[in-house]
């Protein structure tokens, strides 16, 4: 099984990299129903940082963005999302040879994503620091401009000339 196949199943939901239960079940060679049954039987092994259930808006977003998950649109139950640790734990509760073998690819796929995204996290951090510095400088410049305006004399007001049509009348003696 190529790592790219596993990587294509990894989604970003609620700021976490996850695999939807139906994709994970397909990778492990079991039905989604069997995967979810085993998870429910061993629920103590799946804390919220290993697995969470999507809400309706999450599901709708996933369906809109992933063509292969269109069947979720008509499902009566909300799918589960498994984080990297949850996907590995799912392999251990399924305990099938294919699940164990596939979990190796899952681990490699997540590890590769961590490597690919590592430099971008550092870049994002530096951009945030730069943005913070710019905001501080902007405030200082505004304060400086306000101080200069206070020191400047008020502009001289020219008397306003009347506008419109004016008749100059001559008085005859």
- Helix/strand/coil (H/E/C) assignment for every residue in 20-32: EHHHHHHHHCCCH
Which strands sit side by side in the sheet containing 16-20, from one edge to the other? 10-13, 16-20, 80-82, 51-53
Cα–Cα distance for residue pair 86/105, rounded to 1 Å: 14
- What pLDDT score does 2 carry? 62
Q: Is the pLDDT of residue 133 over 80?
A: yes
Domain parsing of the chain, residue ranges: 3-119
Lowest mean pLDDT among 28-42, 47-61, 102-116: 102-116
* Rounded-to-integer distance, Cα 38 and Cα 52, Å: 15
Look at the block and give the residue holding tokens 């998870």: 39
Q: Is the pTM of this model over 0.75?
A: no
**Other C-beta atoms lying within 10 Å of the C-beta of residue 7:** 16
The residue among 117, 11, 23, 25 whose CA lies nearest residue 65 is 11
**Whole-angstrom distance, CA of residue 51 vs CA of residue 61:** 18
Give the percent of the chain with pLDDT over 90. 19
Report pLDDT for 82: 93
Q: What is the pLDDT of residues 2-43, one digit of tens each?
A: 667 777 888 888 888 899 999 999 888 899 999 999 999 999
Checking if the pLDDT of 112 tops 60, the result is: yes
Give, to the nearest 10 degrees, the angle between helix 84-94 and helix 97-151: 170
CB 5 within 8 A of CB 14: no
Backbone angles phi, psi at 163, to 5 degrees: -120, 165
121 or 57, which is more confident:
57
């Amino acid at each position: 099984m190529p790592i790219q196949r596993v990587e294509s199943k990894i989604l970003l939901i609620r700021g976490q990299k996850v695999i939807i239960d139906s994709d994970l079940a397909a990778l492990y060679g079991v039905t989604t129903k069997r995967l979810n049954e085993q998870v429910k039987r061993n629920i103590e092994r799946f804390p919220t940082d290993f697995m969470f259930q999507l809400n309706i808006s999450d599901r709708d977003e996933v369906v809109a963005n992933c063509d292969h998950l269109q069947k979720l649109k008509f499902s009566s139950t909300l799918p589960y999302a498994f984080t990297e640790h949850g996907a590995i734990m799912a392999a251990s509760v399924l305990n099938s040879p294919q699940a164990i073998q596939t979990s190796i690819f899952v681990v490699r796929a997540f590890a590769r994503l961590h490597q690919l995204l590592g430099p971008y996290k550092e870049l994002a951090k530096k951009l945030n620091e730069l943005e913070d510095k710019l905001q501080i400088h902007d405030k200082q410049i505004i304060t400086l401009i306000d101080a200069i305006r206070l020191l400047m004399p008020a502009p001289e007001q020219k008397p306003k000339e009347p506008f419109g049509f004016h008749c100059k009348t001559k008085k005859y003696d």
